[in-house]
Amino acid sequence: MSVVTLTIDNQQVTVPAGTTVLEAARKAGVNIPTLCYLKGINEVGSCRICVVEANKSIQTACVHPVSEGMVVRTNTKRVRELRKGIFELIIANHNADCTICARNLNCELQRLGKELGVETTPYLKSYPEEEEIVSPTIVRDNSRCINCGRCVRVCDKVQEAGVLAFNGRSDKMFVSTFYDAPLEELSCINCGQCIVNCPVGALKEKDQTAEVWAVLNDPAKYVIVQTAPAVRAALGEEFGMPIGTPVTGKMAAALRRLGFKKVFDTDFAADVTIMEEGTELLGRVEKGGVLPMITSCSPGWIKFCEHNYPDLLDNLSTCKSPQNMMGALLKSHYAEMAGINPDDIVVVSVMPCTAKKFEVGREELEVDGRRDVDISITTRELAKMIKQADIDFTKLPDEKFDEFYGDSTGAAVIFGVTGGVMEAALRTLADILSGKDLQNVEYHDVRGLEGVREAEIEVKEGLKLKVALAHGGSNIKKLMDQVRSGKAPYHFIEVMACPGGCIMGGGQPIVSDQVRSEIDVAVERAKALYSEDEKAAEYRKSHQNPSVKRLYDEYLKEPNGHLSHKLLHTHYQKRG
């Protein structure tokens, strides 16, 4: 590989040819501010804030390639004045009422203002009237949008949903959709990747914290909370804890202090999912059902499939997602067990996901006229509630989930990372098929962050299970095109809509591009989940969860049985 040596602020740096000035500077520890830049995704040089002098001419560092002997200066008077001038122009067109913005204290523009030392803009404030455009999951506000295009490119390039686009030009240009149609009328999968990639507060989830507070304050309601695996891997970030810190115990403690009657773990339902989905897979393999079977836990993926691969709906597992299995069980089995009128129960889920809000509202996801889940909030919304309650999160003791529906295994907690559902399924399938309690439970072949992965796993002598995984829309399309062509040799496929899986979901704490350039957030959050799995020394396989066993023994009787079908399985719809 050919290399190039250049100097950046009098430091000599050697980097591979083709490197941008920005990446070279980052390598040299020189900070260059960015705004529209997202490595590998949005490298368009449109905001211009990263201007530097390269061989005395002004260039945008994020797109300008290095050359041999290049002399880069990142902080000359000319550069500083230009950056300030650009920032002043951006801020004039930005609704900067920071104190009442969802992104207050976690905004890349706000940070940039502080960094540049700009305290005023000489320009007339001129931005679109504040107007929240609300879909069932995502709220847009163009008064805060700075037209950086990160959301547009993530939607198009990473997720390949292609829902967002720039409309108009010049001062009339704005981020919008096809013919400015509402998101819910388009093939938006509600993944929320636009939100977590927005540098400012132009995009956020539909906030339902007020609804949760309202039911918590209603003495007639029995409010139960369930939390998805990935939430515990990231919630701490909202309280200044290092990325990758698992906060399961503190989260349980916080939820109890918020006033939830029962603090349960969606992990329980993840174990149930393995029972149901594993059984379904074996049934399809044995009886010649539709293969490959594809997981159905990710509501972003489900909608993606309904829009883009309606011909593959029969490949989807009929299992509801763990969130909805949990809700259906709480309002049936748990209500009966605890002697509570199911109509008094309100199930609130805390999810790393914005698509869960949409899933909760899917009309088919109810049993006997009772919604499986009543309100779904994101990790960010939970953090907001904890802050609203003035709970000092970092000082909370570690508490446990409540019994039975808070019981789970190491297999369940890894559901939150790409490869996790697959690994959990393999742990159980291998035991069932071999009739043994296998000691090796870690399937490293299915781990990792590669976009599309495949593996062949011997689950018993003579039976190799061919599996594949994909996460993130563009990767999913690669794999699904193969399935559609009939050339996919797999038995089982795990799909998660967000790149990295739920740990990187659209409802997770937002990490700035600057931090992301230093820390691989997905790797760190995944470590948190794997560490929780390893800590669960006693039970690391779903079928060994004693409470799940009891659930089947005393209530459901058998996986895929009559009651399971009523409570835990669903169907899908073709969408254009």
Give the residue numbers marked as catalytic: 277, 280, 297, 317, 356, 359, 364, 502
Contact 274, 549 (CB under 8 A): no
Asked if 117 touches another protein (CB under 8 A), the answer is no
Asked if 88 touches another protein (CB under 8 A), the answer is yes
Asked if 395 touches another protein (CB under 8 A), the answer is no
Asked if 33 touches another protein (CB under 8 A), the answer is no
Asked if 172 touches another protein (CB under 8 A), the answer is yes
Contact 355, 137 (CB under 8 A): yes
SS3 content of the chain, % helix, strand, coil (to 5): 40, 15, 40
Looking at the Cβ atoms of 74 and 295, the one nearer to another protein is 74
Q: What span, in angstroms and rounded, lies between the C-alpha atoms of 197 and 148? A: 11
Looking at the Cβ atoms of 85 and 259, the one nearer to another protein is 85
Tokens 């970030």 — which residue?
A: 237
Asked if 523 touches another protein (CB under 8 A), the answer is no
Q: 461: number of CA atoms within 13 Å, CB side? A: 2
Asked if 90 touches another protein (CB under 8 A), the answer is yes
Rg of the Cα atoms in the chain: 25
Q: Strand, coil or helix: what is 456?
A: strand
Q: Which residues contact 77 (CB under 8 A, 6 or more apart)?
A: none
Looking at the Cβ atoms of 169 and 444, the one nearer to another protein is 169
Looking at the Cβ atoms of 172 and 395, the one nearer to another protein is 172
Output phi, psi for 62, to 5 deg: -70, -20
Q: How far is the CB of 154 from another protein (least distance, A)?
A: 17
Asked if 21 touches another protein (CB under 8 A), the answer is no
Looking at the Cβ atoms of 44 and 463, the one nearer to another protein is 44
Looking at the Cβ atoms of 23 and 276, the one nearer to another protein is 23
Q: How far is the CB of 418 from another protein (least distance, A)?
A: 31
Q: What span, in angstroms and rounded, lies between the C-alpha atoms of 44 and 61? A: 11
Asked if 48 touches another protein (CB under 8 A), the answer is yes
Q: What span, in angstroms and rounded, lies between the C-alpha atoms of 535 and 539? A: 9
Q: How far is the CB of 38 from another protein (least distance, A)?
A: 15
Asked if 17 touches another protein (CB under 8 A), the answer is no
Looking at 118-126, 135-143, 299-307, 473-481, which segment touches another protein (CB under 8 A)? 118-126
CB contact burial 166-191 (16+ within 10 A = b; e otherwise): eeeeeeeeebbbeeeeebeebbbbbb
Q: How far is the CB of 61 from another protein (least distance, A)?
A: 11
Can you spell out the DSSP letters for 467-481?
EEEEESHHHHHHHHH
Contact 121, 9 (CB under 8 A): no
Q: What span, in angstroms and rounded, lies between the C-alpha atoms of 238 and 511? A: 10
Bond preceding residue 352 cis, omega within 30 of 0: no
**What burial class does residue 241 get, using C-beta atoms within 10 Å of its C-beta: 0-12 exposed, 13-18 middle, 19+ buried?**
middle
Asked if 129 touches another protein (CB under 8 A), the answer is no
Asked if 308 touches another protein (CB under 8 A), the answer is no
Asked if 122 touches another protein (CB under 8 A), the answer is yes
Asked if 44 touches another protein (CB under 8 A), the answer is yes
Asked if 58 touches another protein (CB under 8 A), the answer is yes
Q: How far is the CB of 510 from another protein (least distance, A)?
A: 22
Among 34, 110, 137, 147, binds another protein (CB under 8 A): 147
Asked if 93 touches another protein (CB under 8 A), the answer is yes
Among 77, 169, 395, 444, binds another protein (CB under 8 A): 169
Looking at the Cβ atoms of 37 and 539, the one nearer to another protein is 37
Asked if 46 touches another protein (CB under 8 A), the answer is yes
Q: What span, in angstroms and rounded, lies between the C-alpha atoms of 164 and 312? A: 25
Q: Which residues pair with 371 in a beta bridge?
A: 366
Output phi, psi for 8, to 5 deg: -120, 120
Q: Which residues pair with 13 in a beta bridge?
A: 6
Looking at 165-173, 449-457, 488-496, 538-546, which segment touches another protein (CB under 8 A)? 165-173
Asked if 86 touches another protein (CB under 8 A), the answer is yes
Q: What span, in angstroms and rounded, lies between the C-alpha atoms of 359 and 376? A: 9
Asked if 47 touches another protein (CB under 8 A), the answer is yes
Asked if 39 touches another protein (CB under 8 A), the answer is no
Tokens 């949005």 — which residue?
A: 42
Can you spell out the DSSP letters for 199-246?
SSSSEEE---HHHHHHHHT-TT-EEEEEE-GGGGGTGGGGGTPPTT--
Asked if 163 touches another protein (CB under 8 A), the answer is no
Q: How many residues interact with another protein (rule CB under 8 A)?
A: 34
Among 173, 181, 214, 515, binds another protein (CB under 8 A): 173
Asked if 567 touches another protein (CB under 8 A), the answer is no
Looking at 164-172, 213-221, 252-260, 537-545, which segment touches another protein (CB under 8 A)? 164-172
Asked if 227 touches another protein (CB under 8 A), the answer is no
Q: What span, in angstroms and rounded, lies between the C-alpha atoms of 388 and 407? A: 29
Looking at the Cβ atoms of 64 and 140, the one nearer to another protein is 64
Q: What span, in angstroms and rounded, lies between the C-alpha atoms of 546 and 538? A: 11
Residues near another protein (CB under 8 A) are 44-49, 51, 58, 60, 63-65, 78, 81-82, 85-86, 88-90, 92-93, 122-124, 126, 147, 166, 168-173
